[in-house]
Amino acid sequence: MTKTISFILNGDEISCDIQDHWTLLHLLREELGLIGTKEGCGNGECGACTVIVDQLAVNSCLYLAADIQGKQVQTIEGLAVHTGSLHPIQQSFVDNGGIQCGFCTPGMIMSAKALLDKDPEADQEAVKHALAGNICRCTGYVQILDSVAAAGRQMAGKKTDKAAGYGDPGPVTRQPGDQTAGEVTP
Ligand code: FES
Ligand code: FES
């Protein structure tokens, strides 16, 4: 069944016709042309499709488009548009090697943004927790964590990382399936 919904997308109010069964991911990519949000697994496992809905990072492949009526949706396209320059998190991923193939990057950045918007001084454990649902096949995660940490410091207006607990990062706790840079999983 077709219905019309209205919501805020990257700061702009829009209305569009949707089908009941469409996911938010389908609406964004296939109907609205916002292909920065990626489709990986399509079933909530990889985080490539992460967007922010009302300040929360969500898997858009599992989120019904009908449920965004009246809500605020942020996608990767909305981060730099209004400033004309990259968002600090985007710039930090570039500067700190948090990107290789880039397929996971929009989802990583949106998960990081949902966290740092609430708490730019989030410590390493909080960052790891926030990004736990985002899978990367390329970077080994260390550069990604470094990127988020550096962005947090900038967003918090800090020149050093001591206060956020990044001064001595220590060993990175690896999860099953984690890779180091250069490893290839079939
Ligand atoms: S595409 Fe949504 S979690 Fe993988
Ligand atoms: S940079 Fe390639 S999947 Fe993360």
Domains and CATH numbers, the chain: 2-78 (3.10.20.30), 88-155 (1.10.150.120)
Atom of ligand 1 nearest to the CA of 60: 2
The dihedral through the CA atoms of 14, 68, 8, 76 has a sign that is negative
pLDDT range class, residue 56, cuts 50, 70, 90: very high
97-125: average pLDDT: 97
Radius of gyration of the chain (CA): 17
Q: Indicate the pairing of strand 2-9 with strand 72-74.
A: parallel
- Interatomic CA distance for residues 87 and 76, integer angstroms: 10
117-125: average pLDDT: 95
Structure confidence at residue 81 (pLDDT): 67
127-154: average pLDDT: 96
pLDDT range class, residue 80, cuts 50, 70, 90: confident
Higher pLDDT, 44 or 85: 44
Write down the pTM of the prediction.
0.85
- For a pocket test of ligand 2, which of 46, 100, 131, 134 has the largest count of ligand atoms closer than 8 A to its C-beta? 100
pLDDT range class, residue 164, cuts 50, 70, 90: very low
CA angle 101, 161, 170 (to 5 degrees): 70
pLDDT range class, residue 109, cuts 50, 70, 90: very high
The Å distance, Cα 156 to ligand 2 centre, comes to 27
Q: Which residues pair with 8 in a beta bridge?
A: 13, 72
Q: In the chain, how long is the greatest CA-to-CA distance? A: 55
* Mean pLDDT taken over the chain: 87
The dihedral through the CA atoms of 55, 13, 6, 87 has a sign that is negative
Structure confidence at residue 186 (pLDDT): 31
Indicate whether 178 pLDDT > 90.
no
Residues in the chain: 186
41-50, 102-111, 115-124, 176-185: least confident range: 176-185
Indicate whether 175 pLDDT > 80.
no
Which residues approach ligand 2 with their CB closer than 6 A?
99-105, 136-139
